[in-house]
Amino acid sequence: MVTAVDQDLRLPGWMTPGNLLRASIAVAVLTIALKTLAWWVSGSVGLLSDALESFVNLAGAVFALAMVTVARRPADREHPYGHHKAEYFSSGFEGILIVGASAAIFWAALLRLLAPQPVEQIGWGLGLSLVSTACNGLLAWGMLRAARVHRSSALEGDARHLMTDVWTTVGVMLGLAAVHATGWQWLDPLVAMGVALNVLKEGVRLVWRASQGLMDEAMEPALLARVQAILDECSTASGAAVQFDNLTSRRAGARNYADLHMHVPHGWTLGHAARLRTEVEARLMQAVPGLRATIELLPQNHATVFETMHEEEDGQP
């Protein structure tokens, strides 16, 4: 479902997460070939570090494609809530690979810093890196747009990793240009160390986000505010006869879940209350992408046993 918020992000039918991740695999293979050739002709450890990170791009894209395929499976008896969280494994796995690549890059740069070597044929190295960077940048831009529409954390993770690769290559190219301009060979490994630290930061961030998704992190504050605004409108329209409380939410890949209570007057018939609940649920799911809203009907001034137990626990010293 594409809501009014996403009207400006309609995509061609072929731009699905699966197709874009297959394109990411193909671009990763091309990038590895170009950057390895750039390192071979120039001898730059900075370009070597850039090529090493592209192997991580390839592994991450392959694993992301596998997890997106799993996440799209329908619910079954063993997984009644679906397989949406599989995408978080992709983000976590890619983050771990990035951390490992950053360590390898830093070690190679440290060895070159202790024993500097001349950089040759910088022009060819820069040219080949520029071609690979353009491919990664265009693909990452398209993937980020698609990730917002499809609400795919695996697609977003792979896209942001590609953008990290783009900025990494830009940094390496600036380092090589500085070496060419100054003749200071130590600039090349120094830039590679900076690349390693930047890559490490992205890896840690991806692992953290994956862990929060697996821990049932709440919906984004902006989406929660949208849900609350609709509930307030519905309560006001009923003349405060209907009240909503105990709103809880969580995210699971492309899905958002919201559970809450709807209190209605004692004199209402069950059919009347159920019809209003259906209208509220429909409004919520129309307004929030990928939302599954579940509303429990309760009489006014009545709490569930679960709520009562929590109130008693909160009142304990």
Domain parsing of the chain, residue ranges: 4-214, 221-314
pLDDT of residue 312: 55
Q: Which of 9-18, 54-63, 93-102, 183-192 is the least confident region?
A: 9-18
Q: Please name the residue that has the structure tokens 């304990």.
A: 316
In this structure, the number of other CB atoms found within 10 A of the CB of residue 285 comes to 17
What phi-psi label fits residue 75: left (phi over 0), alpha (psi between -120 and 50 degrees) or beta? Answer: beta
Burial of 181 (0-12, 13-18, 19+ CB in 10 A): exposed
Q: What is the arithmetic mean of pLDDT over 117-128?
A: 62
Query: Rounded to whole angstroms, what are the CA distances from 282 to 2, 133, 241, 272, 292?
Result: 14, 44, 20, 16, 10
pLDDT of residue 260: 93
Burial of 162 (0-12, 13-18, 19+ CB in 10 A): buried
Burial of 308 (0-12, 13-18, 19+ CB in 10 A): exposed
The per-residue b/e assignment along 216-251, b for 16 or more CB within 10 angstroms, e otherwise, is eebbeeebbebbeebbeebbeeeeeebbbebbebeb
User: Strand pairing of 243-252 and 255-264?
Assistant: antiparallel
pTM assigned to the model: 0.63
Given a contact cutoff of 8 angstroms between Cβ atoms, the answer to whether 173 and 129 are in contact is yes
pLDDT of residue 103: 82
Q: Which of 45, 50, 17 is nearest to 32 (CA)?
A: 50
pLDDT of residue 8: 41
pLDDT of residue 263: 93
Q: Which of 17, 301, 267, 11 is nearest to 25 (CA)?
A: 17
The number of CA neighbours under 13 Å toward the Cβ of 91 is 28
Q: Which of 166-170, 210-214, 287-291 is the least confident region?
A: 166-170
Does residue 162 carry a pLDDT above 90?
A: no
Query: Rounded to whole angstroms, what are the CA distances from 77 to 82, 267, 293?
Result: 9, 39, 21
CATH 3.40.50.150 correct for 4-214: no
CATH 3.30.70.1350 correct for 221-314: yes
**Strand order of the sheet with strand 255-264?**
243-252, 255-264, 291-299
Could you report the per-residue pLDDT of 106-121, keeping only the tens digit for each?
Answer: 887 787 778 766 655 5
- Look at residue 244 and give its three-state secondary structure: strand
pLDDT of residue 68: 83
Does residue 24 carry a pLDDT above 90?
A: no
